[in-house]
A and B are shown apart, each in its own frame.
Chain A
Amino acid sequence: EDLAEESNLALQNKELYLRALDEWKAWRAKTKADLAEQREALGKEPLPSLAEQIKAEPTQEIQ
């Protein structure tokens, strides 16, 4: 019975965590869409990730 209760609690906790994750993903998807819209309205290119930006730039080596 204890094991069953423990497993039940863990399941409930997991559901809470999954819900928090889903809410976060939904919020970020919306803010990213809003940002893309804002950039388009201002005539700016979509925002590449920082890694992409750095990769696209030539590197300069200073001795």
Chain B
Amino acid sequence: MRPILLSGHERSLNQIKYNREGDLLFSVSKDNVVCAWFSHNGERLGTYEGHNGTVWSVDVDATSTLLVTGSADNTLRLWDVASGQKLFEWEFPTAVKRVAWSEDSTQILAVTEARMGYRGALRTFTINRDPASLTSQSKEPSRTITFSGPKATVAAWGSCDEYIVTGHEDGKVALYYHDTKEPETGIDAELEEQSLAVHEGVITDMQMSSDRSFVITSGKDKTAKIVSLKPLQIMKYYTTETPLNSAAIHPTKPYVIVGGGQEAMNVTTTSARQGRFEARFWHIVFEEEVARIPGHFGPLNTIAIHPTGKGYASGGEDGYVRMYWFDESFFRSKVYGPELDLAEEDL
């Protein structure tokens, strides 16, 4: 399995995302640039330029028409995927740390940082998808959830956009009911439907299963966990020996991929091997590590799995995206034997 090395960024990667068909991969980095890549050969399709700060988060809609990005320049931007043109911009008092499209691609959410007296908040916006007037969007959020307690670091939409799930700096995962017609604005404590202490420390990533019925979270506490949403409950634990920055669920094989690594400043004080900059494959049910793929020269900051499960990509602190297509043997292999194999329909 040879990687395709995507070297278009000058600084560390923050997030990578495949589009729904998996023919494109989007990446955002500390170098302020948003890149789009062809996934079959790693050729760069283009860039989306204009952000004046680290771009923290990216998401593409289900039709690969519109792209949304959140940045440390305190803006949330809407882009035309094909032309690279900026369509709209929302400005906030603090950085935008996480963005996500709703399942039906009619709404977006944005999580903003808590800083300089401003509380962290999650805002949702209804997107005008009329091709004739994409540049005219409502400046006002359809709802705002202000975090009175620990700020949210990640967030995502649940199945049918009925719930919003947030992951927090203290390791909490919370569930908010989301009524598209009458979205409620307020303080998190009043709106939160259910919450659960999932990690001991910052939640670094949260990715949905393909049917959006459960999530995988990763944390600085060196663990990744599968959490069911209704009700909120930890189903599986994956305990590693390194702080984790990202975790993703394979859609067709019984694996999750997790990645992270000690930050560079801590590595030098121990040994280079301690960095552990590998993507780790864990069996989703048996909670055992089955493989490691090295390659990055620094911590893995973000992992994305191709929507059909044919490959995966990782973005590192080293500024590179490594994209892999699985060999045929990956799909044929039954690591635990045929009797303990899990069929695609049971995932």
Contact = CB atoms under 8 A, between A and B. Distances in A.
B307 interface: yes
Contacts of B20: 50, 54
| Chain A at the B interface: SS class | helix
Contact of A44 (B160, B210, B214, B346): B160
A34 to B, nearest CB: 7
A38 B342 contact: no
A24 B345 CA distance: 12
A18 interface: yes
A17 B342 contact: no
Instruction: Give the interface size bracket for B toward A.
Output: 20 to 34
Contact of B336 (A17, A24, A27, A51): A17
Contacts of B21: 54
A31 B228 contact: yes
B162 interface: yes
Interface string B326-347: 0000000000100110100011
Contacts of A9: none
B274 interface: no
B84 to A, nearest CB: 14
Given A14-B339, A17-B286, A51-B308, 17 more contacts: A17-B336, A18-B340, A21-B342, A24-B342, A25-B346, A28-B346, A29-B346, A31-B214, A34-B230, A35-B211, A38-B159, A39-B159, A44-B160, A47-B211, A50-B20, A50-B210, A50-B251
Interface of A: 14, 17-18, 20-21, 24-25, 27-29, 31-32, 34-35, 38-39, 42, 44, 47, 50-51, 54
Closest 9 CB pairs of A and B: A31-B213, A24-B285, A25-B346, A17-B340, A35-B213, A20-B285, A42-B160, A50-B307, A35-B159
